Each structure stands twice: as structure tokens, then as C-alpha cells.
Structure 1
Amino acid sequence: METRIIEVKEFAVTGYGLQGPLEKIPGKWNFLNSKIAEKGIVADESFGVCLSMEGGIIHYIAGIKSHHAEKLTGTEEVIISAGKYIVAPVEGGIPAIPTIFNKLLELINYRMRDGYAIERYTHPENELIIEVWLPIE
């Protein structure tokens, strides 16, 4: 698995939250994407942020950077902390995301820090590129 380390400045993600089973995540993305289209918002990336997960119940936000989300209503906002993240590309599409997160967590050369597990989606030239980010010290 190919990885890289990035350093990010703090930023905010605004979107639609879920507190429920993992199976409901696609519905949040469908809702977010419909609102983005309806409001004519142009964002070059989107984020899935896992705020917490316990017993199969996830608190998750499907969103975009907050400065793009001013036209959205009924949203939640989360601050993504500044610092280092280990990043891995996801090959195999959305179903492969949990596998990549688990592989990153198994890497012994890195110490995790407090922060959120993040999925980053970009859409260059009608292609979906997915990365997973985990905060590290």
C-alpha cells in the first residue's frame, strides 16, 4: 500500500450528518450531492468525516469545505485539526475504504493523534479519486 504524509492547515467541513448504522452513509452523500447540484455549488473536493463510531453506530458528516457551503441549510460543521496526516489512496472504490483504514491503523511506524478519520473525494475530469486520512503525530 502506497502512503504519503501531508501537513494541513486547520479547515472546516460543512455537510449533512448521520448518527446511525453505516448502511445509511450513501443516503447522506446522495442528499449532499443533490443539494450541491440544486444550489449550483462548485467544490473540487468533498469529505466524509467520522466523528465517532461505537457498536456499529457512526457519527459521520458528508460535506464540503465550509467556505463553499454557505448556501446549504440544516447542516453540521466540523473543524479538521491542523497537523500531519498519513494518507493512502483507495483502489477498488467505496467498498475498499474500510480495508484501507484498517491497513493504515496497522502501520507500526506511526503514532496516531487525536483527530478524525477522513475520506477525501476529488473529481478531476469525471474520475473519482478517493483517499483516506488518519491524523498522526
Structure 2
Amino acid sequence: METRIEHVEQFTVKGYEMNGPVTQIPKLWDELNGIIHEKGVAPEESFGITLGMENGNFHYLAGINSDLAEGFSGTKEFIIPSGKFIVSKVEGGVEAIPAAFDALLRNPDVTLRHSYGFERYIHPACSSGYETEVWVAIE
């Protein structure tokens, strides 16, 4: 698995939140993508942030850069703090996201930093597909 190190400045993600089984996450993305389409917004990236996990439930937010989500109702905002992240492209679709996160979390060459990991979906304008990356906070 190829990785890279990125340093990001703080940014805010705005979107829809859930707390439940992982099987509810696709519905959350359907909700976000529906409002994006309805509002005519064209984000080139979106984010899936795992805010917590407990007893098989995920606290998860699916969102886009907050500047692009003005006028979306019922949303939550979440700040991704500045810092370094180890990043890897996900090969094999969304089913491969847990394994990609696991590989980054077990990487012996980095020290993990207490922060949130997230998925970044890159979907440039005029593209019908997208790439997925996983980001894990490191020292």
C-alpha cells in the first residue's frame, strides 16, 4: 500500500450525521448527494468522518466543505483540526475502506495523533467516477 504524508490547515465539513449500524451509512450519503443535486452544488471532494464507534454503532458524518453547503438544512458542522496525516488511496471500492484504515493504524513507521480519521472522496468536475482516500492523524 502506497502512503504519503500530508499537512492540512484546519477546515470545516458540513453535512449529515448518524449514530447507528454501519448499514445506515449509505442512506446518509444518499441524503447528502440528493441535497447536493437539488441545490446544484458541484463539490470536487466530500468527506466521511467517523466521530466514534461503540458497541457496533458508528457516529458518522457525511459532508462537504462548509463553504459549499450554505443553505443545506438540518446539517452539522465538524472541524478537522490542522496537522499531519498519513494518507492512502483505497483500492477495491468502499468495501476496502476498513482494511485501508487498519493498515494505516498499524503502520509502525508513524505515531498516531489523537484526532479523527476520515475518508476523502475525490470527484473532479466533469468526471463520472471518484477516488477514495483514507486519512489518519499522525504526530
TM-score tier after normalising by the smaller chain length = over 0.9
CA distance in 2: counterparts of 1:57 and 1:64, whole angstroms: 22
Within 5 Å, which residues of 2 pair with 1:62-101? Answer: 62-101=62-101
CA distance in 2: counterparts of 1:96 and 1:114, whole angstroms: 23
- DSSP-derived class of the 1:68 partner: helix
Q: CA deviation digits over 1:52-107, x for unaligned, max 9?
A: 11111111000001010112010011000101000000010100000000111110
Q: Matched residue pairs, number?
A: 137
Structure 1 unaligned residues grouped into runs of 5+: none
Shift of 1:25: 0.2
CA RMSD of aligned residues (A): 0.7
Within 5 Å, which residues of 2 pair with 1:15-94? Answer: 15-94=15-94
Could you list the runs of 4 or more consecutive aligned residues of structure 1 that deviate by over 6 angstroms after TM superposition?
Answer: none
- How much identity, in percent, do the aligned residues show? 50
* Counterpart in the other structure of 1:109: 109
Shift of 1:42: 1.6
Shift of 1:48: 0.2
CA distance in 1: counterparts of 2:137 and 2:20, whole angstroms: 24
CA distance in 1: counterparts of 2:122 and 2:108, whole angstroms: 28
CA distance in 2: counterparts of 1:2 and 1:55, whole angstroms: 32
- DSSP-derived class of the 1:126 partner: coil
- DSSP-derived class of the 1:23 partner: helix
Structure 2 unaligned residues grouped into runs of 5+: none
CA distance in 1: counterparts of 2:115 and 2:128, whole angstroms: 31
* Counterpart in the other structure of 1:133: 135
Shift of 1:126: 1.7
